[in-house]
């Protein structure tokens, strides 16, 4: 059991299970993009650990960039996604792999889709460590999924509760 701010969380997904999920995503990305020199686009802050591990496991040439969007306050999504840090390079004509820590409602993906369409990318795919099918409300294809989980609030492995918990090597759920 851990306490972050005012809430208690209990162990939910082990570091070993997370590594297996990352291996699965990375293996598929290696099969699909080995000779493509893709740009991995991490969504900060949550995806930093997942992005690092996927990129380390990628065997081909690649480039790395990040964007920062925000939509959460406490344990609830605000429903509004705002861009906090934008792209610093052109993605025109490039193959992009969007690295997300978690896909729940899909609101962040909708905002990133607008950015990528404006950038005129050749194509992009979404790779996420965690996917919540019960919460997902959009039509974007989530091609690479580490693991599907129920619609519970989780922290750890990059995910936070009001800034705390990102450094945890396993995932905890709200008690």
pLDDT of residue 69: 79
Domain extent listing, the chain: 15-153
What DSSP assignment string belongs to 119-164? HT-SEEEEEEEEE-TTT--S-----EEEEE--S--EEBTTB-BTTB
Please name the residue that has the structure tokens 């740009």.
Answer: 39
pLDDT of residue 90: 87
How far, in Å, are 55, 74, 127 from residue 140 at the CA level?
A: 23, 26, 12
Catalytic residue among 6, 32, 35, 104: 104
Residue by residue, pLDDT tens for the chain (175 residues) are 999 999 999 999 999 999 999 999 999 999 999 999 999 999 998 999 999 999 999 999 999 999 887 665 555 655 665 555 567 788 999 999 999 999 999 988 998 898 899 889 999 999 999 999 999 999 999 999 999 999 999 999 999 999 999 999 999 999 9
pTM given for the model: 0.90
Pick the CATH number of 15-153 from 3.40.50.2020, 3.30.70.100, 3.20.20.70, 3.50.50.60: 3.40.50.2020
Q: For the sheet with 63-73, list strands across it.
A: 76-85, 63-73, 39-44, 95-103, 123-131, 144-148
The yes-or-no answer on residue 104 being catalytic is yes
CA distance 128 to 50: 8
């Amino acid at each position: 059991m851990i306490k972050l701010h005012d809430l208690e969380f209990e162990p939910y997904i082990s570091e070993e299970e997370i590594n297996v999920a990352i291996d699965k995503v990375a293996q598929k990305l290696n099969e699909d993009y080995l000779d493509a020199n893709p740009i991995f686009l991490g969504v900060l802050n949550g995806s930093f650990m997942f992005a690092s591990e996927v990129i380390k496991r990628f065997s081909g040439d690649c480039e790395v960039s990040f964007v920062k969007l925000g939509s959460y306050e406490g344990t609830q999504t605000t429903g509004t996604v705002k861009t906090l840090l934008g792209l610093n390079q052109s993605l025109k004509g490039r193959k992009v792999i969007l690295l997300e820590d978690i896909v729940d409602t899909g609101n962040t993906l909708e905002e990133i889709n607008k950015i990528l369409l404006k950038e005129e990318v050749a194509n992009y795919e979404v790779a996420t460590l965690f996917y919540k099918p019960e919460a997902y409300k959009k039509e974007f294809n989530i091609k690479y999924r580490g693991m599907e989980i129920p619609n519970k609030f989780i922290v750890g492995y990059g995910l936070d509760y009001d800034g705390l918990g990102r450094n945890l090597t396993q995932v905890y759920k709200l008690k």
